Structure 1
Amino acid sequence: MPHTPIAIMWFRRDLRLTDNAALYHALRSGLPVLPVFIFDKNILDDLEDRKDRRVEFIHQALEEMQEKLVTLGSTLDVRYGEPTAMFKELLKDYSVQQVFTNHDYEAYAQDRDIAVEKLLQQHGTTFHHYKDQVIFEKTEVVKEGGKPYAVFTPYSRRWKAALQPQDFAQFPVQKHYTAFLQQARKPLPTLASMGFEPLDQPFPGKMLKTEMARKYSEQRDFPAIEGTSRLGVHLRFGTISIRHLVARARELNDTYLNELIWREFYQMVLWNFPQVSRGKAFRAEYDLISWRNNEAEFTAWREGRTGYPIVDAGMRELNATGYMHNRVRMIVASFLTKHLLIDWRWGEAYFAKKLLDYDFAANNGGWQWASGSGCDAAPYFRIFNPYLQAKKFDPQGEYIRKWVPELDSFNYPIPIVDHEFARKRCLEQYSIALKGKSAL
């Protein structure tokens, strides 16, 4: 086996055996293809929660892929460790001629891939990578003259104008399944062996429901209604194809298509404005804000004890399920940054720990939008009133009462800050900072 020349398909954010760009090219390379996944120790060791459901989700997706591969006479080779070290082992275990993978645009991923490619080159192994998790990447959708967009609406217009049928045509991977390397099933590392515990709770399904999509425009802002697709985690880990979703969205609902374009917009920002990966505000002047950063108030926000029912409901939903409705994400983010004047980076980091569908580009973009510091951001003087947001988007209080059952009892806390006072304080502090003065 070690002397048989092979190709490796390195899975990362693309955990599926259908419509996968790199897998398609690997299977057509003329070499037997070994499917590989690496549980990255650099990432997993930083996770504080040993019951992190994202690790369990990945493990379940790999188990599903493994069952299919076994029926094809093949197997996943799944390892736990530092990626470069794992590839050193793979190069010893197999005669690896080529490695295929799909692009990942986050800063850590780029550094990781550079290190792995350097190692492969030293062994005479070629490294191929492809666009897969987006329709358009990097600088494929830019302004006349080549500059990247900083506002969503003109970007989305150009994105739609550029879209051609071949851009969302699916890769016919199944036609080439006979090219998988034939060998006995290899066991996957258990969650316990990597220091994690399963919760055995169901994950959202990966089917875009036709009726939901058709009503998406009217229902998407109401957290008590199942009016969103809940496909974020599947997009995050690639258990569903973006090409499939774009094709379906074009048929069913333009508003849902716009949400998929927002995802690509934030990936484009991540690539073209690298300062956002370094903890900087997209608009540099917003780094002059003097945040209050009150630890006790941050704890109350995290735990859903602010005395603002819609905010508390959202945070409790996040803590319990790893999910929060998108409208509520905007409300809780606005509250943290503008009512409490706590640095958006604190909220961004907390969401990164808790969100099942956490994606750096979208999370960073959303938090900077809420704080006013990002591209296409709401003006700093637009401050959500949590009471009015609740009245408009949860008029019967169904969502709030689900997560805040003690709402009408003496156990529910009084508001942590008065809305009008907080609004006035925010406007003053932002105004001082944006005039270039020190806010003390």
Structure 2
Amino acid sequence: MKTLIWFRQDLRLADNLALCEAFAYAKSALSSPIKANNEQVEALYVVSTEQWRRHDVAPIQIDFIERHVNILAKGLATLGVKLHVVHLPLFDDVVEWMPSFLAQHQIEKVFATQEPEINERQRDEKLLKLRLPIDFVAQDCIVNAGCVNNLSGQMYKVFTPFSKKWREITASMAIAPLAVPKPIAAALPEPSAIVFDAEKKSSHLWRAGEGEAKRILEQFCSQSIQDYQLERDFPALDSTSKLSPYLAIGVISAKQCLASALNRFPEALVDDTSPAKTWINELAWREFYRHLLVAFPRLSKEKSFNEKGDSVQWRNNIEEFSAWCEGRTGYPIVDAAMRQLNQTGWMHNRLRMVVASFLTKHLLVDWRWGERYFRQHLIDGDLAANNGGWQWSAGTGCDAQPYFRVFNPMNQSSKFDPDASFIKHYVPELKDALLKTIHQPTFTKDTQMFDDLFSDKQAKSVNYPSPIVEHSFARKRAIEVLSSLKR
């Protein structure tokens, strides 16, 4: 009989509790004289292309996953473990197929990591109802969902008290990532290349591999984390960790991230003055949104956290939405951010807030449209973080009075890209434009270039639009429409 490790959003060998438990179970069986000659571990990864399509998984993320599954297969082979890669379109197909697979391969026990999203949880519940021998291991968060509660035993609905409690709990834990388990059997031949039968877009701008993720983490914690609080909002600076694509598919764990930060700043969880506090707070945000998905399953069903949000009268102008998607709103900071997303599959976090606020507040387009567009293009697509960020920006999420928060794109531009170097990189038609007109574009009813954009009058032939909407008007309109969200 065999043991199976089913990989999902945990494409790594290090700090993988499900993998370690599978090895431990198999080794205990090996100690039995009855099973000593035939007990071994195998691995499984399921490619569910139709489910991914329904979940709007970005082709660039699918390509990134494929690269890491190939790396995982090679790593497992060195541990004596064969990886089966199976194409099953839908999660329901997995449920129907799994019993016969376990029987065919004589699988006695399965270990897999829990997932917070509702369709994934429903799939796992169906498998358990079949009485299959599967242990679902909780390791997608540093502190397991359901363990950070208020005095009434309920999940926090606001981040600040959640983060305070989360840090208290985390500070009492031993943050010690698990090592890669020792080989369970002789190394296997290098596996053949794995190719997903799915739409893909090259992720070559991002290096692949568990070792690469660890290198990025260690470099960030040793060189950049202490300046993160001061520099993280400036998109032209390389000041963020860039770990989100690896975290999203589990190439590295949140626990590994926290451990690396605490290795250099051991006081960070309890000292508010620690240089690492701000970045660790981002890990807490990640946990908050994942805990919310479990506590409030409707968030996985495109429902607003604030139920009043589902009755907002969005304008949903198709042409304006298309202009936002394509980076031609006439607000350079918004357009540069959207072009960064379209070209690289990633967007700086400050800019995610700027463009989300612009779409939902300036244009009054339903946050679900923007959330879906992000999911379809992000290499670091993650339902919990994407949903949480969009609802925070739209004013429908977990916040006290968020509906009147309307980011001023001009102020954001001048404050966080003062020399417009980021803007000029992604909106090259503005490379010779005056700074004052980049940061303070003049709204006109004419959709052509505004007259004072360039000092060189011959440069007016560059085709860049006037702002799609005037800021003060848009802000007033948004507050009036979204005041229905007031609790």
TM-score (norm 1): 0.90
- Following superposition, the deviation at residue 47 of structure 1 comes to 7.4
The superposition leaves residues 344-387 of structure 1 with CA deviations (integer Å, 9 ceiling, x where unpaired) of: 11101111111110111111110010011100366211211100
User: Alignment partner of 1:177: what SS?
Assistant: coil
Shift of residue 71, structure 1, vs aligned partner: 2.7
8 Å contact from structure 2 (residues 324, 359) kept in 1: yes
1:405 has 2:428 as partner: yes
* Aligned-residue offset at 1:65: 1.7
- Per the TM alignment, residue 89 of structure 1 is displaced from its structure 2 partner at its CA by 4.7
2:60 aligned with 1:53? yes
2:20 paired with 1:14? no
2:94 to 33, 58, 83: 83
Distance 1:183 1:71 in 2: 6
1:419 to 455, 458, 471: 471
Change (3 A) 1:140 1:195: closer
Paired position in structure 1 for 2:453: none
Letter of the 2:120 partner, please give it.
A
1:132 deviates by 1.3
Q: Following the alignment from structure 1 to structure 2, what is the Cα–Cα distance between the partners of residues 64 and 185?
A: 10
Equivalence for 2:259? 247
| Cross-structure match for 1:268 | 291
Secondary structure in 2 matching 1:129: strand
Name the counterpart of 2:206.
Answer: 203
TM-score when normalising by structure 2: 0.82
Residues 70 and 194 in structure 2, CA contact (< 8 A), matched pair in contact too: no
The 3 A distance-change label for structure 1 pair 22 and 434 is closer
Instruction: State how far apart, in whole Å, the 1-side matches of 2:485 and 2:127 are.
Output: 43
Q: Deviations over 1:268-304 (max 9, x none)?
A: 1111122222222111122222110000000000000
Equivalent positions of 1:92-107 (< 5 A) are 92-107=103-118
Displacement after TM superposition at 1:188 (Å): 4.9
Other-structure match for 1:190 = 195
AA of the residue aligned to 1:172: A
1:112 matched to 2:123? The reply is yes
Any unmatched runs of 5+ in structure 1?
none
1-side partners of 2:423 and 2:223: how far apart? Answer: 25
Distance in 1, Cα, partners of 2:279 & 2:200? 35
| Amino-acid identity (%) | 41
Following superposition of structure 1 onto structure 2, how do residues 29-428 of structure 1 map, counting pairs within 5 Å? 29-30=25-26, 31-46=39-54, 52-81=59-88, 82-119=93-130, 121=131, 125-164=132-171, 166-174=173-181, 176-178=182-184, 187-191=192-196, 194-197=197-200, 199=202, 201-204=204-207, 205-206=212-213, 207-208=216-217, 209=220, 210-250=222-262, 251-252=264-265, 253-376=276-399, 379-407=402-430, 408=433, 409=460, 410-428=462-480
In 2 relative to 1, CA 45–294 (structure 1 residues): closer, same or farther, beyond 3 Å?
A: closer
Specify whether residues 103 and 33 from structure 1 end up closer, same or farther in structure 2 by C-alpha distance, changes over 3 A only. Answer: same
Give the letter aligned to residue 195 of structure 2.
Answer: T
Computing the radius of gyration over CA atoms, which structure comes out larger, 1 or 2?
A: 2
In structure 2, relative to structure 1, the CA distance for the partners of 1:11 and 1:304 (3 Å cut) is: same
Contact 1:142 1:149 survives alignment (8 Å): yes
Report SS of the residue matched to 1:246.
Answer: helix
8 Å CA contact retained: 2:56, 2:372: no
| Root mean square deviation, CA, Å | 2.1
Structure 1 segments, 4+ long, off by >6 Å, are none
Q: CA deviation at 1:92?
A: 4.2
Distance in 1 (alpha carbons) for counterparts of 2:116 and 2:289 = 11
Q: Compute the displacement of 1:418 (Å).
A: 0.6
Letter aligned with residue 258 of structure 2: V
For residue 359 of structure 1, what is the amino acid of its counterpart?
D
CA distance in 2, matches of 1:211, 1:375: 33
- State how far apart, in whole Å, the 1-side matches of 2:470 and 2:479 are: 14
Q: 1:352/1:377 Cα in 2 relative to 1: closer, same or farther (>3 Å)? A: farther
> Aligned partner of 2:138: which letter?
K
Q: What's the secondary structure of 2:141's corresponding residue?
A: coil
Output the CA distance in 2 between the equivalents of 1:318 and 1:293: 21
Partner-residue secondary structure (3-state), 1:168? coil
Deviations 1:98-121 (A, max 9, x none): 1100110101110111223334x2
